Amino acid sequence: MQRTYKFRLYLSKLQDKEIQRHLWISKELWNKLLDATIKKYDGEKKFPTKSEFQVMVKDSGLYSQTAQGIAQRLYRALRAKVKAKKEGKKWGFPRFKSFDRMKSLYYPQNEIGFSLNKKLKVTPFGEINIKKHREIKGIIKTLTLKRESSGRWFAVFCAEQEPEQPKINNGGQIGIDLGLMTFATLSNGEIVKKPNHMRIYEDKLADTQRELSKKKKGSYNRKTAKKEVAKLHEKIANIRLDFLHKTANKLLSVYSLVAMEKLASQEMAMQGHGKGINDASWGLFTNILAYKAENAGSKVVFVNPRNTSKECSRCHQLVEKTLWKRQHNCPFCGLSMDRDVNAAINILNRAAVGTTGSNACGDVAIATPMNQEAITLPSGRLG
């Protein structure tokens, strides 16, 4: 299996200038390849082959494997376009890149283009200071030098690791209903407060963006303000990622089975909930939870989300309710509880049916919570 490791880099002024130059060359090479691709397609209705791309990247001024990596990225993007067209989907050409959109240099082979000891040695930039806060397990396969919008540089390593012996997790089972009002509601009634980081910093971000809009294009002051906005976005993203990792760790340390809905984030974003979903990072959270579960000895089960909010978790009758009605009151059996808790129990029920092939109520003990306890992860209590 593969794992990625990300470390902060500290470049000298000379190294920074040289890497910026290589990014510029990379941008020019990408645009050159894309322009040639469009012209060939317009004339022949065909794309360049892999070998034709390899000829085009010769003598580019970049490290050879970095140049080939740019060609491979474009080739993969074109293959995705062809596949999408066959499936009847709309898929345009890749975009031409400005310098600001070219943010990384790729090195596919360890010990040839780069090596890592106390410092990171990269062809042709020499030894770069690196803040290596943890050891890399496994064999390093690739390196990506990445520039964030804030101007900070990072080294991202991809390492091949031997599969770890799965742990045995004898914890309980839990259903999770992800939401917009709160980040998540658990089937035992506990609430995980949503990481509303963008809104916490919204005033500061709005002020900074307002100042940015007043600056003259191309001026030094505009460049400085733009970097401040980027730093704020980066800080929010880092806090959010830390929250998601710690939340996943806490869940998997307690539960052996975590049940969730299959996400339809894109559809919900189109319905006007895009900002909330982006801030909550549902998709990222499910990915983090799924890959961490493997090493934790836990299982993450995704279920069909249809009618999880409408179905009564006790009698299984459908109870119609509007989105703003937050309480589930069943006219058939009299069950009254928070609608999100009801949905989380339904999610757990469906996961139990899918994993045991029998009735969930008989195989999984689901206690109806009498009181809901608001918790704030990662410092809050689970279980």
Asked if 186 and 301 sit in the same domain, the reply is: yes
The answer to whether residue 41 sits within a structural domain is yes
Token duo for residue 76: 């993969």
Boundary (domain end) residue, out of 160, 189, 209: 160
The answer to whether residue 11 sits within a structural domain is yes
The answer to whether residue 27 sits within a structural domain is yes
The answer to whether residue 103 sits within a structural domain is yes
Asked if 250 and 204 sit in the same domain, the reply is: yes
Asked if 222 and 116 sit in the same domain, the reply is: no
pLDDT tens string, the chain, 383 residues long: the values are 788 999 999 999 999 999 999 999 999 999 999 999 999 999 998 999 989 998 999 989 898 889 998 999 999 999 888 888 888 888 788 999 998 889 999 988 766 789 999 999 998 899 999 999 999 999 999 999 999 988 899 999 999 988 777 777 888 999 999 987 788 999 999 999 876 666 777 778 788 888 888 888 889 898 888 888 888 888 888 888 888 999 999 999 999 999 999 875 544 444 455 555 545 578 889 989 988 998 888 999 999 999 999 999 999 999 998 878 889 999 999 999 999 999 999 999 999 876 544 333 333 333 334 333 333 343 333 43
Asked if 153 and 177 sit in the same domain, the reply is: no
Boundary (domain end) residue, out of 128, 160, 192: 160
Can the peptide bond before residue 378 be classed as cis, meaning omega within 30 degrees of 0? Answer: yes
Residues making up the chain, counted from first to last: 383
Asked if 44 and 179 sit in the same domain, the reply is: no
Report the domain count for the chain: 2
Asked if 269 and 199 sit in the same domain, the reply is: yes
Asked if 80 and 216 sit in the same domain, the reply is: no
Q: Which domain holds residue 221?
A: 172-375
Identify whether the C-beta of residue 184 lies closer than 8 Å to the C-beta of residue 248. Answer: no
Q: How far is it, in rounded angstroms, from Cα 376 to Cα 383? A: 13
pTM of the model: 0.73
> CATH number of the domain that 336 lies in?
3.30.420
Q: How far is it, in rounded angstroms, from Cα 314 to Cα 206? A: 46
Q: 375 forms bridges with which residues in the sheet?
A: 192
What contacts 54, CB < 8 A, 6 or more positions away? 68, 71
The answer to whether residue 383 sits within a structural domain is no
Asked if 146 and 241 sit in the same domain, the reply is: no
Asked if 333 and 371 sit in the same domain, the reply is: yes
